[in-house]
Chain A
Amino acid sequence: MNPAKLLERLLQLIPVMLGVSAIVFIMMLVTPGDPVDIMLGEQQATPEQRQALRKDMGLDLLAPQRFVHFLQNAAVGNFGISYFHRRPVIEVIMERLPATIELTLAALVIGLVIAVPLGVLAAVRKNTWMDRLATVGSLLGISMPGFWFGLLLMMLFGVWMQWLPISGRSDLASQVPVVTHFLTVDALLALNFTVFRSAMGHLAMPALTLGLPMAAVLMRVTRGSMLEVLQQDYVTFAQAKGLTRQRVLFSHALKNALIPTVTMAALEVGSLLGGSMIVETVFGWPGLGRVVVESIFTRNYPLIQAAILLYALTYVLVNFLADLLYTQLNPRVRL
């Protein structure tokens, strides 16, 4: 893609991002309850103090003015004070974000590692028992409510077999220096395998809960695109040239068949972000998703607002990158 086209596509993101911000702003604007009351909580305050606080929070301005303020502040990462934590929202988010990213990446890896080989196998052995088994498996995967699947794993591996810890991240986190904020990576960097084992043990069930439904979706996509690619002339030609089956499958067919899989994986990041709220709640994973859910009950609106905005903007960017990747991998698509 030439730079002019790229710039044009980037500019097209701006109205969407503005729209997203507007919706998030309106959501909080029409939320019942006076922010000043929520902020003050049990504390007593004189009308003058309340008025000062109101002015401080910019609540005395008109809605459009408040929206401009909101955008200006959001642009520099200022999302106000988290009512519950009594600290800037952005601090709380930055503290919790690495755990969520670690979980999401682990789920993405699990999804791809399961989906790609199974999808290829199901396509190559189309209409055999293996294909049917994979189809049934993926149907189960997309029909399974994540929170229930998580609880089943917990009962099976945590309560019954007692192989894995049932909640939290790891109590040994303080034993390794913080480098990447991903506990599994930090433990590896410090060559501390006790901590690494503990971190992986805590990560296993939440990542599996989040990753398996995605594997189901990606497997269907891989199977479909592999079937399509296998019918193409160049694959027939490669076979006719006398190349080995492995060679044809892996270096000719798979490379092209993976394009839709990669695109779909990027699109699935949206459901991973949503799903992480459920999974983090089930497993007590100390990520952003869990704070958002807790914030609903403490009416901690600034944090909810910031998290929704952050997630939605991430999603827009990931979709944009997926589009770019798709065009790069598949030269026939011209934007």
Chain B
Amino acid sequence: MSEASESPLRLSWRRFMADRFAVAAAGVVILFVLTALFAPWISPQDPNDSDLLRRLQPPVWMEGGEWAYALGCDALGRDLLSRIIHGTRISIFIGAAVVLIATGLGIVTGLLSGYLGGWVDSVISRVVDILLAFPYLLFAIGLMAMMGPGLQNIIIALAYKEWVIPCRLVRGETLALRSVEYVEAARAVGASPRYIMLREILPNILSPVIVVSTIRMAHVIILEASLSFLGIGVQPPTASWGSLVADGRSFIWDAWWISTFSGFAILILVLAINVASQGLRDAFDPRLQ
């Protein structure tokens, strides 16, 4: 089949599949998602089960290590591998939740702002400008200080600012599409603004929105880990990668594995998401390469 007769979606899909690095990275991301979903079944131990006899037990390849506790134990004798596996849930859940909420909100506000213009655009754009003035982490820290720690509050704190990014993107793309022929045509035959925004414009701007949301998910995961590292994110005993790294901080002299392996998990997941989303971007729009 020639490229011209293929649908754009199929073409993008074929381009993505041809990018071996991106496919491998997407595979890694899927592996992490599966780990998150099946955490209770695949973790070798109960992540909160402490055993002081195993306090700071080293990983299996070091003296004193054993297979049942492959990556060693933390200061309370809890199995590090099981805690990292359970931490995957927090990272993926918060990353996905924040990006979904923000993208939904960003699409709605961006479409309204870009298509309707006028005072709606002025109000939304001012709010966006003001929110952009805050450094992200600082804003999240301020909100967490105010709301107190906890899973739900992290999602709220991050989504508060995150929606600005899809909003600006959608607004820009909508402005560009507002006067193209097929939108003019729809308007001429009397289609409602709602119909035009959702049926004519939205489907045509989805690919950059998807690309940007996957990239943003990587950022959100790092932000959540940073909040939990500072102790104002997910609260103990729940294992989150950021708090695991923080737990290991006091033991860098004699138990390097706690911080090292927990942080490594963040690096691998974030790296995989970044590589996969670059592949996605190239597949959707080869001109950007």
Contacts and interface: CB of A to CB of B under 8 A. Distances in A.
B245 A147 contact: yes
Contacts of B130: 16, 19-20, 23
A146 B263 CA distance: 10
B210 to A, nearest CB: 19
Contacts of A28: 146
A278 B229 contact: yes
Interface in B234-279: 242, 245-246, 248-249, 252-253, 256, 259-260, 262-264, 266-267, 270-271, 274-275
A41 to B, nearest CB: 18
A163 interface: no
A15 interface: yes
B252 A155 contact: yes
Contacts of A24: 142
B267 A145 contact: yes
B212 interface: no
Contacts of B126: 15-16, 19
Contact of A27 (B143, B230, B242, B252): B143
Interface in B119-137: 126-127, 129-131, 133-137
Interface string A36-64: 00000000000000000000000000000
A282 B232 CA distance: 15
Contact of A144 (B129, B137, B256, B267): B267
B230 A281 contact: yes
Contact of A277 (B141, B242, B248, B263): B141
B249 A31 contact: no
A133 interface: no
A123 to B, nearest CB: 14
Counting chain A residues whose Cβ lies within 8 A of the other chain, the interface size class is 35 or more
A142 B215 CA distance: 11
B263 A275 contact: no
Contacts of B84: none
> Which of the listed residues A140, A274, A282, A315 has the most CB atoms from chain B within 10 Å of its own CB?
A274
B239 to A, nearest CB: 16
A335 to B, nearest CB: 16
Interface in B142-167: 142-146, 148
B271 A273 contact: no
Contacts of B53: none
Contacts of B146: 27-28, 30-32
B222 interface: yes
Interface string A261-291: 0000000001101110110011000000000
B271 A139 contact: yes
B123 to A, nearest CB: 11
Given A143-B274, A152-B260, A296-B144, A159 B136 contact: no
A301 B143 CA distance: 12
Given A19-B126, A145-B225, A145-B267, A274 B137 contact: yes
Contact of B263 (A23, A140, A152): A152
A151 B134 contact: no
A210 interface: no
A271 B136 contact: yes
Contacts of A315: 133-135
A295 B248 CA distance: 23
A292 interface: yes
Contacts of B82: none
B226 interface: yes
Contacts of A313: 133
B62 interface: no
A319 to B, nearest CB: 8
Contacts of B231: 297
> Which of the listed residues B129, B135, B148, B256 has the most CB atoms from chain A within 10 Å of its own CB?
B135
Contacts of A304: 141-142, 145
B252 A148 contact: no
Contacts of A301: 145
B232 A147 contact: no
B274 A147 contact: no
B96 to A, nearest CB: 18
Contact of A151 (B127, B225, B259): B259
Contacts of A140: 267, 271
Nearest to A151: B259
A173 interface: no
A45 B19 CA distance: 70
Given A145-B267, A154-B252, A270 B136 contact: yes
- In order of increasing CB-CB distance, the 8 nearest A-B pairs are A148-B263, A274-B137, A19-B130, A143-B271, A270-B135, A274-B135, A143-B270, A31-B146
21 contacts: A20-B130, A32-B148, A145-B226, A145-B266, A145-B267, A147-B263, A148-B266, A148-B267, A151-B248, A154-B252, A155-B252, A155-B259, A159-B256, A270-B135, A275-B137, A308-B134, A308-B142, A312-B134, A312-B138, A315-B135, A316-B133
Given A155-B256, A313-B133, 5 more contacts: A145-B263, A151-B249, A271-B135, A277-B137, A308-B138
